[in-house]
Amino acid sequence: MTPHEQSADPRRWRILMVSLLVGFMSLLDVTIVNVAIPSIRASLDTSAASVQWVVSGYALAFGMTLVAGGRLGDAHGRRRMMTIGLVGFVVSSAAAGLAPSAGLIVVARLAQGASAGLLTPQNSGLIQQLFRGEERGRAFGMFGFTVAVASATGPLIGGTLIGLLGEDNGWRSLFLVNVPIGVVALVLVRRLVPANVTDPDEEQDQRIDVPGALLLGLAVVAVLYPLIDLEGGVGWTLAIALAFPPLAWAFVRWERATVRRGHPPLLDVSLLRSLPGYANGLLVGTLYFTGFTGIFLVLSVHLQEGVGFSALRTALLTTPFAVGAATTSLLAGRLVGRLGRRVTLISLSVMMTGTALSAWLVTSEPDHLWWTLAPAMFLAGVGGGGVISPNFTLSLAQVPPEMGGAAGGALQTGQRIGSALGAALLMTVYQASLSVASSEVAARAALVAALVVLAIALAAAVRSWQLGD
């Protein structure tokens, strides 16, 4: 038994299980609503743009609050932030499920996303503080498994509920199912997660950098809003996007000044310069999610509107990705300590092979997709399962535990920006191709676009490996 295992919290694996349950629930809501867009639009007789904000509003608020949520957990304890986040998540989920109009659902989804932003970074923060060495790799492997499965099974769970409960009630159940799960998770958090997992003898400055949080939140909005509101017109979205560079510059300047004054920063930006492994991991993760997440949205739209599949049948066809990811996520977490960045290189290469096959086979006859597209998606999932957890492990390896929540929140903010960018990019390619070609050809074009982005992610990972990160 290692010295760390002798001194570590004996309940750490049970604490991790509770944390991952909470993380699964919040990440699931990123994708579970994708298959419900047609049902919500028909049930509430609203516009496509309004329904799109049911999906996008969650992602926007989620991305805005991740780093601040991580820093709050660093300063005030994981249990407190998880409790506040869970209460907000449960209440907003119930409000979304019972809302009589699309406008109220959007408001509830914004609150739900902000609550998820408080919850999710506590996962990486807890792992940083409770685990060391090979155990940390295994813990991040379980976290990567949770991220991959939550992202990929969202459409399946959503399609199943809509299939069982019907178009009118099924989409409401996607929100209401969070209520009982959230209440159970809240009880477990209060019982198992310690109030403070940092060293009690270590003095912790609990001040929160509010101006830094506002600047970063506005910078994230300046990136995400134009991506998720492409139908709103070029003028507004361009004006908002142009605000990003000065906001990002102001955030960096403010954080550096905060450190010089001896105050705790929201995110110590010197990590990007002093820890190249962290900066490279941030880039690889953002690019991976740009190429990965939009695939499910494009296939969901293509298979339902282009091929005529039901929501459930569509979800079943993309589920092999989750199965493939489940087979490799935990293994990758165990191997990263020995193989390092090579795990990411191999995994990305396998995923790109599966994505290339999917692009080739997506034009198969509808009845043949079970024997063509589904195995290709499984292969892509086998590769995808080995990307997320090693990247987290390697990126956060040298980050101080007291900054673990904020640093992990920044990594996940990159993932959310990548997800929004990927969804916008792939759907734009799909819609543009659809105007001049068939739905099958348009889907192939979108998957090729995803392949190009994944190739850039692979190049970034190769660069990181060459630098020894």
Mean pLDDT of 5-32: 81
Are the CB atoms for 123 and 19 separated by under 8 Å? Answer: yes
pLDDT digits (tens, 9 = 90+) for 361-404: 998 888 888 899 999 999 999 998 888 878 888 887 777 766 66
Mean pLDDT of 164-186: 88
Q: What is the 3-state secondary structure (H, E, C) of 364-415?
A: CCHHHHHHHHHHHHHHHHHHHCCCHHHHHHHHCCCCCHHHHHHHHHHHHHHH
User: At 82, is the pLDDT very low, low, confident or very high (cuts 50, 70, 90)?
Assistant: very high
Mean pLDDT of 228-251: 74
Tokens of 258: 């905060």
Which of 121, 57, 453 lies closest to 294, judged by CA? 453
- How far is it, in rounded angstroms, from Cα 376 to Cα 370? 10
Beta-carbon contacts of 323 under 8 Å, excluding residues fewer than 6 positions away, are 378, 381
Cα dihedral across residues 460, 462, 463, 465: positive or negative: positive
Q: Calculate what percentage of the chain has a pLDDT beyond 90.
A: 20
Residue 31 pLDDT exceeds 80: no
Tell me which of 451 and 100 has the higher pLDDT. Answer: 451
Tokens of 334: 């165990």
- How far is it, in rounded angstroms, from Cα 327 to Cα 439? 31
409-413-419 Cα angle (round to 5): 140
pLDDT digits (tens, 9 = 90+) for 318-337: 888 888 888 888 788 788 87
Chain-centroid distance, C-alpha 110: 16
Residue 1 pLDDT exceeds 50: no
Residue 405 pLDDT exceeds 80: no
- How far is it, in rounded angstroms, from Cα 116 to Cα 288? 21
pLDDT digits (tens, 9 = 90+) for 261-286: 877 777 777 777 777 778 888 888 88
Mean pLDDT of 1-15: 67
pLDDT digits (tens, 9 = 90+) for 299-310: 888 888 888 888
CATH class of 3-195+212-466: mainly alpha
- How far is it, in rounded angstroms, from Cα 328 to Cα 390? 11
Q: Residue 469 carries which DSSP code?
A: -
Tell me which of 244 and 42 has the higher pLDDT. Answer: 244
User: At 458, is the pLDDT very low, low, confident or very high (cuts 50, 70, 90)?
Assistant: very high
Write the Ramachandran bin of 233: left for phi over 0, alpha for psi from -120 to 50, otherwise beta. left
Which of 318, 327, 323, 326 lies closest to 374, judged by CA? 318
- How far is it, in rounded angstroms, from Cα 392 to Cα 305? 36
Q: Does the pTM of the predicted model rise above 0.95?
A: no
Write the Ramachandran bin of 340: left for phi over 0, alpha for psi from -120 to 50, otherwise beta. left
- How far is it, in rounded angstroms, from Cα 133 to Cα 2? 10
Domain ranges of the chain: 3-195+212-466
Chain position carrying tokens 């609150």? 111
Q: Calculate what percentage of the chain has a pLDDT beyond 70.
A: 90
- How far is it, in rounded angstroms, from Cα 99 to Cα 108? 8
Q: Is residue 467 helix, strand or coil? A: coil
Are the CB atoms for 67 and 121 separated by under 8 Å? Answer: yes
Q: What is the pLDDT of residue 77?
A: 84
Are the CB atoms for 60 and 221 separated by under 8 Å? Answer: yes
Mean pLDDT of 342-350: 92
Residue 15 pLDDT exceeds 60: yes
289-462-389 Cα angle (round to 5): 45
Are the CB atoms for 400 and 415 separated by under 8 Å? Answer: no
Tell me which of 72 and 315 has the higher pLDDT. Answer: 72
Query: Measured between alpha carbons, how far is residue 68 from residues 110, 128, 142, 415, 449 in Å?
Result: 16, 17, 24, 16, 33
Beta-carbon contacts of 17 under 8 Å, excluding residues fewer than 6 positions away, are none
Q: Is residue 268 helix, strand or coil? A: coil
What does the mean pLDDT of the chain come to? 82
Are the CB atoms for 349 and 459 separated by under 8 Å? Answer: no
Cβ-in-10-Å burial (0-12, 13-18, 19+) of 332 comes to buried
CB neighbourhood size of 38 (10 A): 18
pLDDT digits (tens, 9 = 90+) for 193-227: 887 655 544 455 566 778 888 888 888 888 777 76
Residue 111 pLDDT exceeds 90: yes
